[in-house]
Amino acid sequence: MSLELQSLQKIFSQSNVGLGSTSISIPDSQWLSLLGPSGCGKTTLLKLIAGLEEKSGGNLDSSFNKKEISYVFQDAALLPWLTVMENITLPLTLRGVSSKEAETEAAPWIKKLKLEKFTESFPSQLSGGLKMRVSVARALITKPKLILMDEPFAALDEPIRIELGLELRELWKSLKPTIIFVTHSITEALWLSDRVLVFQGQPGKIILDQALPFGENRDLALRGRPDFQALVEECFQLLRSSP
């Protein structure tokens, strides 16, 4: 198991919210989505795994070292004073890799994420979708084994979300990193991932741990299938009925 959580919890003392006692195993190369309302501890769980938060209790066994983990934030988190190329190569240049070498490393990701025309642009000149592509390219340039994604498509409109989701799924198929993906969209979670965890309550607890039987290849047609729709409805009812 690449990630093993045993009674892991993080309670913020001032608000008494966060992540309640959580025990799960996440195998290598799994795409796991976390669903649930705001404040139920999804982002907290990502931050605990990333080492950005201190746990209040429990255990977290991870086989990933820090250099093997990438984090994609909700609003792309680009540095406005750097060009697209400089933003993408930032993780490598911070490690002391020369700009030229880093640009060579970035080239395939730039191509895969269709950013060739924008390498010298600044973030203020990009649309929300392009900013997120840059953010994903920056996360992938270090060839991470674990990618933590915190509502990466939340600020995007539906067609762009779908397009980026498909591209990300294709990238995942070729690279097979472990992905932990936080989203508020039930459809997005079920469409993109292999397994979904539904959280509820404050502090949050897992109320559903569901493996998704849709295979590796996902396309738009899947979203209209009755079995897919039935699962969407089940998750929706579960989230609605929970206190």
At closest approach, how far in Å is the CB of 81 from another protein? 5
Whose Cβ is closer to another protein: residue 124's or residue 174's? Answer: 124
Three-state SS at 114: coil
Give DSSP secondary structure letters for 118-131: GTT--GGGS-HHHH
Interatomic CA distance for residues 156 and 127, integer angstroms: 9
Judged by CB under 8 A, the residue of 15, 25, 98, 125 near another protein is 125
Rule CB under 8 A: which of 167-206 touch another protein? none
With tokens 């294709």, the residue in question is: 170
Judged by CB under 8 A, the residue of 112, 122, 201, 214 near another protein is 122
Specify whether the CB–CB gap between 106 and 137 falls below 8 A: yes
Whose Cβ is closer to another protein: residue 121's or residue 242's? Answer: 121
Judged by CB under 8 A, the residue of 73, 129, 160, 163 near another protein is 73
Interatomic CA distance for residues 38 and 134, integer angstroms: 26
At closest approach, how far in Å is the CB of 170 from another protein? 24
Interatomic CA distance for residues 9 and 171, integer angstroms: 32
Specify whether the CB–CB gap between 122 and 85 falls below 8 A: no
At closest approach, how far in Å is the CB of 209 from another protein? 27
Whose Cβ is closer to another protein: residue 103's or residue 194's? Answer: 103
Q: How far is CA 153 from CA 1, 12, 158, 218, in A?
A: 28, 27, 9, 18
Size of the site for another protein (CB under 8 A): 24
221 in contact with another protein (CB under 8 A): no
Judged by CB under 8 A, the residue of 38, 54, 66, 226 near another protein is 66
Binding site for another protein (CB under 8 A): 47, 50-52, 66-67, 69-71, 73-75, 77, 79-81, 90-91, 94-95, 122-125
